[in-house]
């Protein structure tokens, strides 16, 4: 636009500036006739203006193309450090926080931005390392006193002492609380190692400990990429849904769901556990016939220290069961949701991405 404006001004000034010269040339050529001078002056001025306009327009187009090319090249050189910083930042994770962007070059705004990000990564690395050390130390320092107390209670108190069982139950409750908190902290840090885990097999093993039958199937669903075969009853009769993750954490996830379903069930109620596969991946569903839960109270059940009765710090357990379930599911790239069941109870659904290979028949 500025180039076009420049050429327009040049054409106007050139036309006005060459009129006198064209008039003088016309007088010299025609001998001074007024009509001929005027006609020849207009002809010369028009021809000069047209030529100037044509050549200046072509020059403007060529220069504009060159400007675009030079601007593109210059912008690429200027923004190359930004692209490199972006690519390095995308590759970073909690296991590679020791790496830095290490931007080189003059002390300009881009290097200042890179140094700021490196400083932020250093603070994050220190925070993650502090959390790892805390979990490692807590695993030992918190378990040892409780184990000592349990041994002292078992050895030092006679079975006839009524308070002995109360103390043992309190000790076991504290151990479960510590184990739950440590597991919650580990799962929230993500998975450091992954393996192929047959979800149906893990669920069947955990359900067997609680006397619950799991229905395992791996039906062919459009877009699921799962293997064929359908099974039911006993937990191991059907196809397998293979999940890429931690077998220990997935076992704990299943154990918490089944334990909650059994603990908060009504007398004579039912507990239904099913493993299936859909277009999104493996699906673990645990439902029971417990007390009625309002829809507004369901999201709060996934918060730490929330019990089944819907009030803080009431009811059995430590209130970490569903918190651990959600944390483990997220660590595996999945989700955990719950809805109230008609007539009372809860239906918890955990969706987990399956491994790259198709599940094979058990």
pLDDT tens digits, 238-263: 457 888 888 888 888 898 899 888 88
Q: Are strands 242-245 and 195-198 parallel, antiparallel or unpaired?
A: antiparallel
Beta bridge partners of 349: 285, 337
pLDDT at 362: 32
Q: Which residues contact 200 (CB under 8 A, 6 or more apart)?
A: 214, 216, 218, 235, 236, 238, 239, 240, 241, 275, 362
Q: Are strands 214-216 and 195-198 parallel, antiparallel or unpaired?
A: unpaired
Q: Which residues contact 316 (CB under 8 A, 6 or more apart)?
A: 263, 307
Residue 350 pLDDT level (bands cut at 50, 70, 90): very high
6-15, 178-187, 197-206, 315-324: range with highest mean pLDDT:
197-206
Closest by CA position to 236, among listed 209, 197, 275, 283: 275
pLDDT at 268: 83
Phi and psi at residue 280, in whole multiples of 5°? -90, -15
Is the pLDDT higher at 171 or at 220? 171
Is the pLDDT higher at 177 or at 203? 203
Is there a contact between 197 and 241 (Cβ–Cβ < 8 Å)? no
Q: What are the tens digits of pLDDT across the range 284-320?
A: 999 998 888 888 888 878 776 555 554 444 445 555 6
pLDDT at 348: 92
pLDDT at 269: 85
Pick the range with the lowest mean pLDDT from 73-82, 164-173, 329-338. 164-173
Residue 206: other Cβ atoms inside 10 A: 23
Residue 314 DSSP class: -
pLDDT at 311: 43
pLDDT at 104: 80
Mean pLDDT value across residues 119-125: 87
* HSE-up (13 A, CA, CB side) for residue 85: 19
Mean pLDDT value across residues 220-234: 36
Residues 36/37/39/40 CA torsion (nearest 10 deg): 110
pLDDT at 23: 61
98 vs 225: CA distance, rounded Å: 37
Q: What are the tens digits of pLDDT across the range 144-194?
A: 777 888 888 877 777 766 777 778 877 776 776 677 667 656 666 666 677
pLDDT at 153: 80
Mean pLDDT value across residues 91-109: 78
358 vs 43: CA distance, rounded Å: 84
């Amino acid at each position: 636009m500025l180039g076009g404006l420049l050429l327009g001004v040049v054409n106007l000034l050139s036309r006005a500036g060459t009129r006198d010269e064209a008039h003088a040339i016309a007088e010299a050529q025609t001998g001074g006739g007024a009509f001929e001078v005027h006609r020849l002056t207009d002809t010369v001025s028009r021809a000069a203006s047209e030529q100037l306009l044509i050549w200046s327009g072509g020059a403007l187009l060529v220069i504009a193309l060159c400007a675009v090319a030079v601007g593109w090249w210059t912008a690429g050189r200027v923004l190359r450090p930004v692209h490199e910083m972006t690519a390095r930042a995308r590759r970073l994770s909690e296991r590679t926080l020791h790496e830095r962007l290490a931007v080189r070059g003059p002390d300009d705004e881009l290097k200042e931005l890179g140094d700021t990000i490196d400083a932020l990564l250093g603070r994050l690395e220190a925070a993650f390392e502090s959390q790892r050390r805390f979990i490692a130390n807590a695993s030992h320092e918190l378990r040892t006193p409780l184990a000592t107390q349990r041994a002292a209670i078992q050895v030092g108190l006679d079975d006839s002492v009524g308070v002995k069982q109360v103390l043992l139950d309190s000790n076991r409750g504290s151990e479960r609380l510590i184990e739950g908190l440590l597991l919650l902290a580990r799962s929230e840090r993500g998975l450091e190692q992954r393996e192929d885990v047959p979800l149906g097999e893990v669920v069947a093993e955990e359900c067997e400990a609680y006397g619950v039958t799991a229905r395992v199937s791996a039906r062919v669903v459009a877009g699921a990429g799962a293997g064929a075969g359908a099974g039911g009853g006993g937990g191991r009769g059907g196809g397998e849904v293979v999940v890429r993750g931690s077998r220990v954490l997935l076992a704990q996830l299943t154990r918490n769901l089944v334990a909650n379903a059994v603990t908060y069930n009504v007398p004579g109620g039912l507990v239904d556990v099913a493993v299936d596969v859909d277009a999104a991946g493996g699906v673990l569903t645990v439902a029971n016939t417990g007390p009625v839960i309002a829809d507004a109270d369901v999201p709060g059940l996934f918060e730490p220290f929330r019990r089944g009765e819907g009030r803080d710090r009431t009811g059995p357990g430590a209130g970490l069961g569903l918190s651990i379930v959600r944390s483990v599911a997220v660590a595996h790239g999945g989700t955990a949701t719950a809805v109230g069941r008609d007539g009372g109870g809860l239906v918890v659904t955990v969706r987990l991405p399956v491994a790259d290979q198709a599940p094979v028949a058990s």
